[in-house]
Amino acid sequence: MQNQKLAKQLMKKSKTARYERFGHLLSLSALLLIMAIVLGIIVFVATKGLSTFFNDHISFKDFFTGTLWNPGTKTPSGHQAVGALPMIVGSFLVTILAAVVSTPFAIGTAVYMTEISPKRGAKILQPVTELLVGIPSVVYGFIGLSVVVPFVRNTFGGSGFGILSGTFVLFVMILPTIVSMTVDSLKSVPKYYRQASLALGATKWQTIWKVVLRAATPGILTAVVFGMARAFGEALAVQMVIGNAALMPHNLVSPASTLTSVLTAGMGNTVMGSLQNDALWSLALVLLVMSLFFNLLVHFIGRKGAFKK
Amino acid sequence: MSDPIITADNLDLYYGDFQALHGIHLDFEPHQISALIGPSGCGKSTFLRCLNRMNDMIDGVTITGMVKFHDQNIYSPQTNLVDLRKEIGMVFQQPNPFPFSVYDNITYGLRIAGVRDKQKLDEIVERSLKQAAVWDEVKDNLYDNALSFSGGQQQRICIARVLAVSPSVILMDEPTSALDPISSAKIENTLLELKKEYTIIIVTHNLQQASRISDKTAFFMEGRVVEYDDTSKMFVNPDNKQTEDYVSGRFG
């Protein structure tokens, strides 16, 4: 009798097993939902973006190499004026320049925070960088508009709006991202590498330069790529200082535009399904593909540089 | 008996308020292997790190007394730490090659010292890897990441890395405790070869290892040197009762 009861109990699913299953289903459905959303966004942007080429019969060549952007009108040579090259060039220029300016600053700050004065780093610099991340981009843009643009105008001439101002604003915006990720990667360099280096007669500086930074290079590259992804996707702050002229930039202080700035400026002013609207979606598609590319790059660097242990 | 190359004289060390070493007196003779043995926490590794001032990096450490290297007190303010550590190299418990190629690992010490001559670097790489008895295993993969080799090979690469800067003394902090017996045996043989040219001071938990390879043995207990003598005497007929109990396995 007793045994039968026990056997029956054992055959049934226990309470914990049901909880287990419930939790499993819950997290699985959350995952599926997110995957569906991401996939949905990609498919939506792709169909919209590609319809410029397939419905409106714009050639890829005109889009990627044309330098005249005024969808709905024609260029003097009779093509549709949907040349996105100025925006693509603008986006890449501000991104690359901002990364080039930020990286040395970020590495310097991170080295100070982890190697030279960890206590002060944790007490002062850590909260400061976190604060910088939290400032809304419109505030950056506003400061850029009222400080950076006049500064550039007075120093380099021109209107002050342009790639250079965009670079300065993005430099401050992506600095905390690169700093905090570089700090993480420096911290993950094992202490015994430093000891080994010092025991071989290296100075502290040589140890930082030749061992710590070198061992952390994959992590630092990842940080820079993340910063670039952020700069590439930043819209508002850049739009406020770059001048928003869909022209090929002649120099760093002439008004220009980026993919994001044209998108934010134009998205409210077009009719769904029109060429003007489709062309904007194509810009969005270029942005999306670039973000995916940055993500893949990060994965690739991360996998290649992981500490084998 | 030749003159000692390193002498510790009345060395005290404090971690904050805790005294970890009490008045250590020890002389180490050149071209010998000296083993430091004793139970965990007895201060033998702490003492070893005093000999090339690796304890300087730890916060709250105070050291009094003297360590003389060729009659120079290494704790005098004139000591150049960089020069000191080139003379007194160190091999750690965990194999810790840098995550670079074997070649870059071996040449690291030379490059930071300013050696640029490729031919000279090549020669030294080959010589040190041969001395560390790992040349045959890595010679075809000199440009592979050092971390891709086995633990025993990594440790011998670390030994070669120290040998490359031609120190006169090599400190070893339990260099085989993280390795399998076969790799350990290889390293022990390497050490017996190396003592012809170098002075080796080794901390070990493995009493058999100490008795196999060392010429002299110091037995540490609670921050003091209980006994220091020829290894043959220490393991067969020690003067001190505690030493006898420890080497015969009655405690520790």
Distance from CA of B222 to the nearest CA of A (A): 26
Quick check: B113 contacting A, CB < 8 Å?
Answer: yes
Quick check: B155 contacting A, CB < 8 Å?
Answer: no
Residue type, A142: F
The verdict on a CB contact (< 8 Å) between A215 and B161 is no
Which of A196, A202, A214 is closest, CB to CB, to B92? A196
CB pairs under 8 A between A and B: 70
Residue type, A277: N
Same domain? For A185 and A298 the reply is yes
- What is the average pLDDT across B230-249? 91
Q: What is the pLDDT of residue A309?
A: 38
Best CA proximity match to B37, nearest among B227, B182, B193, B233: B227
- Give the whole-angstrom CA distance, residue B129 versus residue B161: 8
Q: Tell me whether residue A75 is in a domain.
A: no
Q: Which of A29-43, B6-20, B170-184 has the highest mean pLDDT?
A: A29-43
Distance from CA of B111 to the nearest CA of A (A): 10
- What is the average pLDDT across B69-82? 89
Q: What is the pLDDT of residue A305?
A: 60
In a 10 Å sphere around its CB, with 0-12 CB exposed, 13-18 middle and 19+ buried, how is residue A165 labelled? buried
Same domain? For A116 and A32 the reply is no
Quick check: A307 contacting B, CB < 8 Å?
Answer: yes
Q: How confident is the model at residue B60 (pLDDT cuts 50, 70, 90)?
A: confident
Q: Tell me whether residue A165 is in a domain.
A: yes
Nearest CA in chain A to B97: A193
Crossing angle of the two packed helices B151-164 and B181-194, in degrees rounded to 10:
20
Q: Tell me whether residue A190 is in a domain.
A: yes
Substitution target in B82, B159, B173 with the highest count of A β-carbons within 10 Å is B82
Distance from CA of A179 to the nearest CA of B (A): 23
Q: What is the pLDDT of residue B97?
A: 94
Quick check: A170 contacting B, CB < 8 Å?
Answer: no
Q: Copy the structure tokens of residue B10.
A: 């009345």
Structural domain spans, chain B: 6-95+167-247
Quick check: A190 contacting B, CB < 8 Å?
Answer: yes
The verdict on a CB contact (< 8 Å) between A206 and B98 is no
The verdict on a CB contact (< 8 Å) between A210 and B90 is no
Q: Tell me whether residue A69 is in a domain.
A: no
Quick check: B58 contacting A, CB < 8 Å?
Answer: no
List CB contacts (< 8 A) between A210 and chain B.
108, 111-112
Question: What is the domain range of residue A49?
Answer: 2-55
Same domain? For A35 and A167 the reply is no
Same domain? For A47 and A91 the reply is no
Quick check: B236 contacting A, CB < 8 Å?
Answer: no
CATH of B6-95+167-247, picked from 3.10.20.30, 3.40.50.300, 3.50.30.30, 3.30.450.40, is 3.40.50.300
Same domain? For A183 and A219 the reply is yes
The verdict on a CB contact (< 8 Å) between A308 and B99 is yes
Which of A195, A211, A308 is closest, CB to CB, to B92? A195
Substitution target in A197, A200, A204 with the highest count of B β-carbons within 10 Å is A200
Q: What is the pLDDT of residue A308?
A: 42
The verdict on a CB contact (< 8 Å) between A192 and B90 is no
Q: What is the pLDDT of residue A275?
A: 87
pLDDT, tens only, B119-161? 999 999 999 999 888 999 999 999 999 999 999 999 999 999 9
Split into its structural domains, chain A has a count of: 2
List CB contacts (< 8 A) between B158 and chain A.
196
Same domain? For A126 and A48 the reply is no
The CATH number assigned to the domain holding A234 equals 1.10.3720.10
- Give the whole-angstrom CA distance, residue B67 versus residue B71: 9
Same domain? For A267 and A119 the reply is yes
- Give the whole-angstrom CA distance, residue B71 versus residue A141: 66
Q: Tell me whether residue A255 is in a domain.
A: yes
- Give the whole-angstrom CA distance, residue B131 versus residue B1: 26
Same domain? For A172 and A31 the reply is no
Give contacts of A 16-55 with B, CB under 8 A.
none
Residue A208: partners with Cβ closer than 8 Å, 6 or more residues away:
A111, A115
Which of A203, A210, A215 is closest, CB to CB, to B99? A215
The answer on pLDDT for B166 being more than 70 is yes
By three-state DSSP, how is residue B68 classified? strand
Nearest CA in chain B to A192: B96
Nearest CA in chain B to A209: B112
Sheet containing strand B199-203, edge to edge, reads B88-91, B169-173, B199-203, B33-37, B216-221, B224-230
Same domain? For A213 and A141 the reply is yes
Q: Tell me whether residue A67 is in a domain.
A: no
| Alpha helix segments (H runs only) across B34-117 | 44-50, 81-87, 102-112
Quick check: B64 contacting A, CB < 8 Å?
Answer: no
Same domain? For A99 and A20 the reply is no
Same domain? For A91 and A39 the reply is no
Quick check: A265 contacting B, CB < 8 Å?
Answer: no
Q: How confident is the model at residue B1 (pLDDT cuts 50, 70, 90)?
A: low
One pLDDT digit (tens) per residue for chain A, 309 residues? 678 888 887 777 788 888 889 999 999 999 999 999 999 999 999 999 999 888 888 888 888 988 888 888 887 877 788 889 999 999 999 999 999 999 999 999 999 999 988 888 888 888 988 888 889 999 999 999 999 999 999 998 888 899 999 999 999 999 999 999 999 999 999 999 999 999 998 999 999 999 999 999 999 999 999 999 999 999 899 999 998 888 888 888 889 999 999 998 888 888 888 888 889 999 999 999 998 998 898 888 877 665 443
List CB contacts (< 8 A) between B86 and chain A.
200-201
- Give the whole-angstrom CA distance, residue A171 versus residue B159: 45
Which of A200, A215, A308 is closest, CB to CB, to B108? A200
